[in-house]
Structure 1
Amino acid sequence: MTNNNSKPLQLWSVQDLASENLESVPSRYIRPEIDDKIVVTSAGIEVPVIDLSKLIGHDTHFFMEEFEKLDLACQERGFSRLLNHGIDEEALKKMIEDVPKFFDLPFEEKKQCTGENEGYGQALVFDEEQKLDWGDMLALRTQPDSVRNYKFWPAHPLTFRETTNKYSSEMERIKTILLGLMAKNLGIDSKKLMKMFNGGLQSMRINYYPPCPDPSKVLGISPHSDPTGITLLLQLNEVDGLQIRHDGQWIPIKILPNAIPVNIGDSFEMLTNGRYSSIEHRVVINKEKERLTVATFHQTNGSVPIGPLSELIHKGESAKYNTISYDMFEKLFFSRKLYGKSLLDRLKREN
């Protein structure tokens, strides 16, 4: 998502800062609000794992089992992990190879890819006093082709653009499958839901979280819920860091090899009138190792306003959220720093 009225991406490199063998963390990155007491082990807490092959296969028994698991995951967690997703192995391999090569480039070369809420840098920084996240990013608009601005797409490594193009197509395919399944679970016309997302913006946030000498004092990304519909996450190395918020506690999500984490975003929660819930999440940092991820966001196409679908406002219920235009939704998101589910809170109706 982009908004021309928002602040430009800020230009500094946490990666370069971390390479200076710091003995302490600069004050602007220290987050005094972090409370380790509310971080709990994931042991005993079920983090849903969905086998996509069972949802696109022909075995009715396995289909219904996974179908119900997916619905429950969207309702109760807003988060699941997708196994046997069928994403092209070469596309995954090339992303895992090319992304680190970009971040290994000199800062002077990386900063050539910077613009307003797109390209290399840090986003949603509004003032000189704001606490900063411990990480660098490359934000790109990737689908449809018409939204791409290649001046923000790195020229190096030489295969980066081809790699990202192929991977983004794979993410689009997985999104389409998931939307069809979710529509069926919700009891709504899948064609209507598809029409809302067809041609909608797909964007990527490619993240580099360097190690930190005192990781207990920093965050890789502040607590937030994604504003979009569905997010698919590729974890490029075996370094944990993702945490989701559940019942007021932060639950660490251990990496499951070959799994793609999936989470519901704010606009999808609004469309379903709260039946499916967006998930608040954050990233913590490792003391010894870097962490690299690619988050792919999928949003509606702006053909209709964002708000509860009439089919999902059942008898005796009322709309839980105000309906607003796509442009206004974007404007609200880009006018505030990341902070929990503050965007949804602002759009809730007082019934």
Structure 2
Amino acid sequence: MAVEPESLEWSLPVPSVQELAIQGLQTVPASYVRDDTDIIITTPSDPSLRIPLIDMTKLVNPDSQQQEIQRLHSACKEWGLFQIINHGVSDESLSNMKEHVRGFFDLPLQEKKHWAQKPGSLEGYGQAFVTSEEQKLEWNDMIFLRTRPLQNRNLNFWPEKPQGFRKALETYSEDLSRLAVSIIRFIAMGLGVEAQQYSETYREGLYDIRMNCYPPCPEPERVLGFNPHADISGITLLLECGDTAGLQVLKDGHWVVVEPIDGALVANLGHVTQIMSNGIYKAPDHRAMVNKSKQRLSIVTFCYPNSSANIGPAEKLIKSGSPPLFTTLKCEEYFHRFYNRKLEVSFIDSLKI
């Protein structure tokens, strides 16, 4: 009997679903079968349910900036999620990162286990938030790494194979942190709050990267690749490693498929931004589905303000007459509350005044 984790900051070891997929199973093991959720939901054809597309070149161009900021504001208010194109991260950085993530998940299991999670930490290769031997498992393998600031890195978990992985990850995390600062500034401008001050807290912010492998599944309609959840970040940036759709976002009661766009990044708001906006913006529920014949790989960057930041409604929004909907916490306390709650407790609800 495994010792159950005392908090969400570490996870019980579970089988590799990549290895299960390799075995050529015809049916899914019972521990993955979901009878508690309606999994087969297709994207409605309603044109109002198309994922917003934001063009970074229009955000930085003075002639088109106001109009694109308004589109960004609407996307954050109505969806909490958008795809961003012309974002300035080089094709080389994106393709290099994708190639090394593929290379890592292609390694034999025993090789990948060199960087396996250890009790007491979510970092490394394994699974997240498995706190009980009875809970339903997700159809994915992952490696989770803290990348910025530099002193947060634990290189014991950073793969040395495939060769060049660490360098690719370092470059990519630098590129994504710069992009996050820029996006956050425009989000703050859309809200009419202190854009420079708010975006600066992300310049030396906390950045974590989770790389996901969703192998082919013999019964995709019976499992989830990732349970429905909202992120606790300020913003989350997702890069698809191929053209296999899997991400879905909940909008007006519909699970809408986020179709991959070559070269684009998917941005979704987390609870930090929902709180900062005093509820004007919402961190959307999203989930991952799996495919019967295709593997899907994704690279997810969680972007947070720096550890000394206060997480609370923006002063300007409160001064304008709206009462604060959320309590203000130090970043450290915010994380402590998240990791030391029960999984079934809504985190954002626990922060409401």
Q: How does 1:72-83 map to 2 (within 5 A)?
A: 72-83=74-85
Q: Once the 2 structures are TM-superposed, how far is the Cα of residue 323 of structure 1 from its aligned partner?
A: 2.0
Whether 2:252 is the aligned partner of 1:247: answer: yes
Choose which of 169, 193, 200 in structure 2 pairs with 1:195. 200
Instruction: Spell out the pairing of 1:1-351 with structure 2 (5 A cutoff).
Output: 6-8=9-11, 10-36=13-39, 39-41=42-44, 43-44=46-47, 45-58=49-62, 60=63, 62-115=64-117, 116-336=121-341, 342-349=346-353
Taking the aligned partners of 2:22 and 2:40, their CA distance within structure 1 comes to: 30
Deviation track 1:145-200 (CA, whole Å, cap 9, x = no partner) reads 11111110001011100101111111011111112212222222223203332312
Contact 2:216 2:291 (8 Å CA) reproduced: yes
From the superposition, tell whether residues 337 and 263 of structure 1 become closer, same or farther in structure 2 (CA, over 3 Å). farther
Which sits farther off after the overlay, 244-253 or 190-199?
Answer: 190-199
SS at match of 1:105: coil
Equivalent AA in structure 1 for residue 50 of structure 2: E
Deviations 1:89-112 (CA, angstroms, capped at 9, x unpaired): 111111121111101111112112
**Within 2, Cα distance between the matches of 1:77 and 1:33?**
25
- Report if the CA contact (8 A) 1:205-1:295 is conserved: yes
Shift in Å, 1:5 = 7.4
| SS class of match (2:280) | coil
C-alpha distance in 2, partners of 1:28/1:168? 34
Cα distance in 1 for partners of 2:100, 2:198 equals 34
The CA distance in 2 between the partners of 1:344 and 1:239, in whole Å, is 31
Residue 109 to residue 298, structure 1, CA distance change in 2 (3 Å):
same
Please tell me the root mean square deviation across aligned C-alpha atoms, in Å.
1.9
Percent sequence identity is: 39
Report what 2:3 is aligned to. none
Shift of 1:259: 1.3
Structure 1 residue ranges without an equivalent (≥5)? none
Aligned residues: 344
Q: What is the deviation of 1:4?
A: 8.3
Q: Which amino acid aligns with 1:285?
A: V
Query: Could you say if the C-alpha distance between residues 332 and 347 of structure 1 is closer, same or farther in structure 2, counting changes exceeding 3 Å?
Result: same
Output the amino acid matched with 2:205. G
Q: Tell me how far apart the structure 1 counterparts of residues 16 and 40 of structure 2 sit (CA, whole Å).
A: 31
Task: Describe the superposition over 1:2-44 as per-residue Cα deviations: whole angstroms up to 9, x where unpaired.
Answer: x987334524311101111111111110111221475443542
Q: Is residue 10–residue 123 contact of structure 1 (8 Å, CA) maintained in 2?
A: no
TM-score normalised over the length of structure 1: 0.93
In 1, Cα distance between equivalents of 2:8 and 2:71? 41
Which amino acid letter does the alignment assign opposite residue 99 of structure 2?
E
Q: Describe the shift of the 1:71–1:135 C-alpha distance in structure 2 as closer, same or farther (beyond 3 A).
A: same
SS at match of 1:151: helix
